Every structure is written in C-alpha cells, then in structure tokens.
Structure 1
Amino acid sequence: MNTNGIFLMLLSMATFAVADTLIKICGSYLTPAQIMFFLISGGLLLFGMITLVQGENLNEPRAFVPILLLRYCTEVIGLVGMVMALTYVPLSTVGAITQASPILVAVGAVFFLKETISWRRWSSIGFGFLGVVLVIQPGAESMDLAVVWPVLTLVAFSVRDLITRLTPPDIASASLATYTMVFALPCAIAWVLFNGDNFFPAGVNWTLVVIMVVLGSLGYLLLIASLRVGELSAVMPFRYSRIVFLLVLGVLVFDERPSASMLVGASLIIVSGVYIMLRERVLKRRRSQEKVDA
C-alpha cells in the first residue's frame, strides 16, 4: 500500500511541476489575475463534478464556519502568491522556498497548538530555515525583490496546513476543494476587474490554458489519493520531489542556472523536512505503543 501511495505522491508532484511550468509559460501572454481566474474557475468545475460523481453532499452546513473561512482565505492568499511567484521568479527558486512549508508548520504547531518538540527537531527546523535563507540570499546585490511572492506563498500555505488540523475531518477532500474554489472565484473575478483585464483575451493558446488547469486539478486529486492509499509518514517525505522536478524543468524549459547557494539551500530544506516527517512517524509509533502498554 505504501508503494502505491509513494508512486501517486511522485506522480502528483510531477504533475504539479508541469502545471507550474505551464503557468510560467502562460504568464507571457496572460496577467496573473487572468491565470488565477482560469485556475479557480476550471478547478471549481472539475472539483464540483468529482464531488457530485462521488455522491458527496455540497449542502454542508459547516462549509462556511469561521475556521473554514480562515482556511479559504489563506488558500486564496497562497494561490495569489504562487501565481505571482511563478510569473516573476525562477521556477527552481519558487519550488525550493514553497516546499519549506512543513518546517514552518512544525514551528506553528509549537506556538499555536502547544505541541512539544525535541532539540533534534528544533535543530532540523533551524537547518531548514538556513536553507530558505540560502535560497533567498537576503542582502545580496543580485537579490530579486519578487522573491517576496514565494515567501508569501510559503507562509500562507503553512497557515492553511496548520488550520487544516482543526477542520472537521469528516468533510470529504473533494468537497473541501470545491468550497475553496467557490470562495476564491469572486476574489479572482474582482482581481481581473480591478486590473481592467479581459476575462477571455485574444491571442491566447487555449490548449496550454486547458492543460494547465487540468494538470493543476489532477495534481491535487493525486495528492489526496496518495495520502489515502499510503501511510502519511511514509508518503509525505516524497512531496519534496517537487523541488527536483522544478529544478530540472527550470533548466530544460527556461534555461535557468541555479547557483551553488540555491542548490545547497534546497538540499537543506529537503533533508530538514524529511527528518521532521520521519521523526513525527517515530513519535506517533511511540505514543501508540505507550497507549497499548497502558
């Protein structure tokens, strides 16, 4: 089962990476607001159909309780940051920074969920943040201020993941995704109108746009499937493969040349994140054994 889960996770990350690449390509003739609109409207259509096919109830009275509204807000902020980042920042840099989310979630769990972590995990968190600093290189003359967008995405998605731990677990993932798209669509429409953009501009490669939307939604569904098929602790470390996929695509498609500092930083983020996840696996097993012994 874990083998299938790992395969689905790798496939999900590869799909996301290709979708990210297409977003960057589409950014040459679409504004970030237009890309956001297409991603949200297409995602709403696909997730809505999947939810109906699965027989899920979309008349969920808890869909807009405060905790879920907060989750939707962080999701929208993260999506805006991600689209802006993919438009203006090198693909490899976006991948390295945004995949540091589990490290930030671990810190958030300490301060907001009152979880206790050992000095080993604190050390790992420190190395992870050092990796982010090496990727961003604050203070460097060549630093691009646009790097603030992937950082915003990192923070927003980390808060979202933290909030997800507090949401009702019995709400289906596809339904939750549909509610998120319903909440995000007016925001995307308002962004397009505010910029004075056309919703369906001329000269657009609609084939690429459709593939971009489909792959973005497919990656999300594969991610859900991987988490349901395999054990969370076994599957989640492979989410970092997205960094590798984006590094390769950045070089092949956009002729990016990651610096040594960026590569070292990305490596630290991967090692730190994987250690945190594996350490959580050990602690969960220990707690389960203690309950059995008691």
Structure 2
Amino acid sequence: MQPLKGILLKLVAVLCFITMSSLIKAGSAEVPPGQSVFFRSFFALPVILGWLALRGDLTTGWRVKSPQAHVWRGLIGTMGMGCGFAGLALLPLPEVTALGYAAPLLTVVFAAMFLSEKVGIYRLGAVFLGLVGVLIVLAPRLSTLGDDTMQVTEAVGAIIVLFGAVCAALAQVHIRNMVRSEQTSAIVFWFSVTSTLLSLLTLPFGWAVPSIPTVLMLITAGLIGGMGQIFLTSSYRFADASVVAPFDYASMLFALGIGYFIFDEVPTPQMLLGAAIIISAGVIIILRERHLGLKREAARSAKTPT
C-alpha cells in the first residue's frame, strides 16, 4: 500500500469532480438528470480509451474476470450519479457538496462491514460526529416544510442527494474490493459503458434539445468526469477506502468559491456549521489513521532483524 499516493490521486479526483458538478449544474436548467448522466458517461469514454492507448492496454485493458461485479458497480454508481445530478438542479452547490459528505463517512462504516477493515472507536466516533454535521445541514430543509412548493422541492432534493451519497459509498467500497482482482482500466471503462446504457433508459421521461453552449459544457463535464474517474479508481489501489475517503472534504473549498462567484449562492451559517463539523470529523479520521500508520511502521521496524 502507498497511502500518500492514494491520497494525492483522490485530491486530483475531487478537483475534477467539483469542476464537473459545476458544469452539470450550469446545464441543469436545460436538460434532465438522466441526460446529464449520458453526457458525463459517454464523453468520458474517449478519455478512457486514450488512457488505455497511452498505457499500451487498448486491446487488453477492458478485459474482466467478474462481469457481475462490473454490472453491480455500474448500477449503484449510476444511481448515485443520477441522484447527485438531480440534487444539483434543486439545491446550491455548497449544500449538495456538504450533504454528499455523508458518502465518505458511510464508506468508513461500509469498509468495516464488507471489507473487514479495522475501524476503532475513534473513527466510529468521528463518523458519528460527521453524521451530526450532515443532520445540521439537512435540518433547515425538513423543518421548514409547508405549502411552499420551493421548500418541498428543496427538501426532496436534499433527500435525493443523501440517497445518492449512500450509493456512492457502496460504490467506493465495491471498487476497493474489485481492485483486488480487476484491472483499474476495466473498472473505469465498463462503468462508463454501463452508465451510458442505463442513462438511455430515461429517454421516455423526456430529453431536451439543449443550446450549443450547454452542449459544450456537458461534453466538457464528461471529459473531466472521465479523468476524475480514472484518478478515483486508481486511488483505491494504493490506500484503504477509510484512508482516502475523508479527502473528499477538500471539495468544500472549491464548492464555496464556485457557488459564490459563478452561481451567486451565499451559504447559510447553519450550512457552514454543519460542513465544519463534517470536515472536523474527517480531520479526526485522518489524524487517527496517521497515528495507527506510525504504530504499524514502528512495529514492523522492531521485528526487522539487524
């Protein structure tokens, strides 16, 4: 394992995905979420194929050992993506980002449940603290429900984003399990193929004919999303899911800046408080992981004969 390399890859992936989300949000006024999923998935394929060509794996990089694992990854990943895109159309970018932070928190729990990764009381406590922060962000949406259509729409958007976070966490843990036997290139390639095909199922629910600027934004989102997917999948090859997941929190800085300067979105004090609590939980997990890593390294050194 190479935790530092995994962390760096995850940070690059975060930057790609927040940029992609901004482009998807900008185009959400003209196209439905299913159509956005299509653009993001289909136009990621040229990036992936170019990556395979550079690696010299164009003829072998897409081969799989467990087709069922790729189908499952595609289903849950596409559901998470679609929910996230739907939320971007209904809520401010920083709020969607903050609620999406439930994913890395849940990843810690799911990694312990499904991958038998050891998660001690400190990290479990940090997860609980982070979920309290998520509830603080979510509370205004649920406490102001009434006859106001906008309030109901925003509450539904928040619930959709949370469900997407659950799917994203399951997908991240599933990727961590898949990389033990599957090629990174195959995981990335077949996810884009699967999500492209699944997005076409939303055609009967109404696709739009967007303007040229919107088409260009969505194509760019797909290209950047393909790059982000490569970096994300690669990060789990070098570090445990519970190690790299907290670095999703770096996206809040980008989301606040883009939301304010591009979308004229001013975060509420309660949203910032909740996000700060979630980020604090992530820092606790990071520091605890570093402490445990130092202890493991010391133990290995003590066992090495001189």
Which bin holds the TM-score, normalised by the shorter protein? Answer: 0.7 to 0.9
Two-structure CA RMSD over aligned residues (Å): 3.1
Structure 1 distance, partners of 2:176, 2:162, is 22
The superposition leaves residues 229-281 of structure 1 with CA deviations (integer Å, 9 ceiling, x where unpaired) of: 99999876543211111122111122112111110110111111232133223
Letter in 2 for 1:107: V
Greater CA drift, 111-120 or 75-84: 111-120
For residue 70 of structure 1, give the secondary structure of its aligned residue in structure 2: helix
Whether 2:43 is the aligned partner of 1:33: answer no
For residue 29 of structure 1, give the secondary structure of its aligned residue in structure 2: coil
Letter in 2 for 1:141: T
Aligned to 2:286: 277
Greater CA drift, 223-232 or 145-154: 223-232
Structure 2 distance, partners of 1:207, 1:41, is 14
Match of residue 60, structure 1, among 63, 66, 76 = 63
Letter in 2 for 1:203: S
Structure 2 distance, partners of 1:16, 1:93, is 15
TM alignment of 1:144-163, pairs within 5 A: 144-163=155-174
| Identity level (%) | 24
Aligned to 1:203: 211
Aligned to 1:75: 77
The superposition leaves residues 34-83 of structure 1 with CA deviations (integer Å, 9 ceiling, x where unpaired) of: 1111111111232123223312214524151x333322221111111111
Question: Which ranges in structure 1 are unaligned for 5 or more consecutive residues?
Answer: none
Letter in 2 for 1:215: I
Aligned to 1:187: 198
For residue 191 of structure 2, give the secondary structure of its aligned residue in structure 1: helix
Letter in 2 for 1:101: A
Letter in 2 for 1:244: L
TM alignment of 1:1-294, pairs within 5 A: 10-56=11-57, 57-58=60-61, 60-64=63-67, 66-137=68-139, 139-141=142-144, 144-169=155-180, 171-192=182-203, 194-197=204-207, 201=209, 203-205=211-213, 206-223=215-232, 237-291=246-300, 293-294=302-303
Q: TM-score, normalised by structure 1?
A: 0.85
Contact 2:62 2:189 in 1 (8 A): no
For residue 289 of structure 2, give the secondary structure of its aligned residue in structure 1: helix
Q: 1:164 to 1:203 in 2, by over 3 A?
A: closer
Letter in 1 for 2:80: G
Letter in 2 for 1:40: S
Greater CA drift, 1-10 or 241-250: 1-10
Contact 2:122 2:288 in 1 (8 A): no
Contact 1:99 1:243 in 2 (8 A): no
Aligned residues: 290
Structure 1 distance, partners of 2:242, 2:166, is 22
For residue 265 of structure 2, give the secondary structure of its aligned residue in structure 1: coil
